[in-house]
A and B are shown apart, each in its own frame.
Chain A
Amino acid sequence: MDGIHDLGGMQGFGPVAHSTGEPVFHERWEAEARALLELVASAVGATGGEFRHAIERMEPGHYLTSGYYEHWLTAAATLAVEHGLVTRNELSSLAGGPFPLSGPVLAASVTESAPDRTEPAYAVGDRVRVRDWHPPGHTRCPRYVRGHVGVVVRLDGAYSVPDIEAHGPARRREPTYSVRFDAVELWQDGQDGVTVHVDLWESYLEPA
């Protein structure tokens, strides 16, 4: 989905709030939120794709105004409600106030497994174009490279396609690639001497 999480290249943000030392968890609730998401994901058998998609479905304003571990908490509660472990009412009444959850899944469930494809269609040095499409579900294809041409620099083996595993019991493995894009090809204001490498599943690509 074209969600708020897909931040690459968005403008208007200020400086990075950089610090060289900070605790792993600033407050105890952050560690608890992290552990709760791990427990919920394991209890409902959520894949990495389903777990990430639960964060991606957060309301954009909430996403931008809450930190990383509030994202994890929201995803944990959303998955717990969607899989019937708890109810929305139980959560808000125990919390003594609103308990914002992520929005609904927009993509259809995928139930039919397609055969794995492990033989790579592209080789190092091949020019590829990223499909210019807008799937409603989970994808690991960032918006900022869609429609752009890059060069394959590395083959990384076959992995489960996140777009499929996030939406039901079906699984399919496909080759993944690291693809190099010149910044001037990606952005009109691209800086000279800059390349951006993005790791992409084969079905995100077409020959260029």
Chain B
Amino acid sequence: MSDAHHHTAPVSPVERRVEALKDLLTERGLVPEGYIEEVTRRYESEIGPLNGAKVVARAWIDPAYRQRLLQDGTAGIGELGFGGAEGHHLVVVENTDAVHNVIVCTLCSCYPWPVLGLPPSWYKDPPYRARMVREPRVVLSEMGCDLPASTEVRVWDSSAEVRYLVLPQRPAGTDGLSEAELAALVTRDSMIGVATL
């Protein structure tokens, strides 16, 4: 693997910098064989919004589970087997006809990894972080999430140890669907709170 890698000349300045740091740390014995490949694989395939969608679908079909989930997000999400890094203290906030929730991290990019995976670029970039706490109705509308003026908007800035997950409203006309079919309807954006379903 590393041989093939070294035959490909890095092109951009940032790639050359990554390569420089990697080579120096490898020379000092600080990069275990296969480590980079293993963590990459884990982030690409083991965590992601499919986990969060399962949590949401379960909450939609099981009122007792929904209650437990809203009471204690970490334990409720743990019931489905999800947890770990950036998920040690999870809080689930529920959308209703009267209230719409949306999550942001103004200071960096805190995000509930075990249920949503790693955050998308736009969540980490300055416009979203700067604007969502100041003009959320405008930002939501620009992102295609139009809410009635009467809907209260609650913005949650993940500035300490809690990571948030939005429980979106179940779409109308989905009564006959199975749990798996419901989970397939749940988008990442609806669990961040920048979309409704």
Contacts and interface: CB of A to CB of B under 8 A. Distances in A.
A156 B161 contact: yes
A76 B18 CA distance: 10
A40 B22 CA distance: 10
Nearest to A160: B161
A17 B187 CA distance: 18
Closest 9 CB pairs of A and B: A8-B106, A199-B160, A94-B20, A13-B127, A95-B20, A31-B40, A10-B130, A7-B130, A35-B36
Interface of B: 10, 13-25, 28, 30-31, 35-36, 39-40, 43-44, 48, 89, 91, 106-109, 117-118, 120-122, 124-131, 133-139, 142-143, 149-162, 187-189, 194
A142 interface: yes
Contacts of B21: 36, 73, 76-77, 80, 86, 91
Interface in A154-208: 154, 156-157, 159, 176, 178, 183, 186-187, 189-201
Contacts of B91: 154, 178
16 contacts: A8-B107, A13-B126, A24-B44, A24-B48, A29-B14, A33-B18, A36-B31, A73-B14, A85-B28, A86-B24, A90-B24, A94-B19, A144-B106, A192-B149, A195-B152, A199-B157
Contacts of B30: 39-40, 43, 85
Interface of A: 5-11, 13-20, 22-27, 29, 31-36, 38-40, 43, 52, 55, 64, 66-68, 70, 73, 76-77, 80, 85-86, 90-91, 94-97, 99, 140-142, 144, 154, 156-157, 159, 176, 178, 183, 186-187, 189-201
Most chain B CB within 10 A, of A32, A34, A154, is at A32
Given A16-B128, A90-B20, 20 more contacts: A8-B106, A16-B125, A17-B125, A22-B120, A24-B117, A25-B44, A27-B15, A31-B36, A32-B22, A32-B36, A35-B39, A86-B24, A86-B28, A144-B134, A186-B133, A191-B136, A192-B149, A193-B151, A194-B154, A197-B157
B129 A7 contact: yes
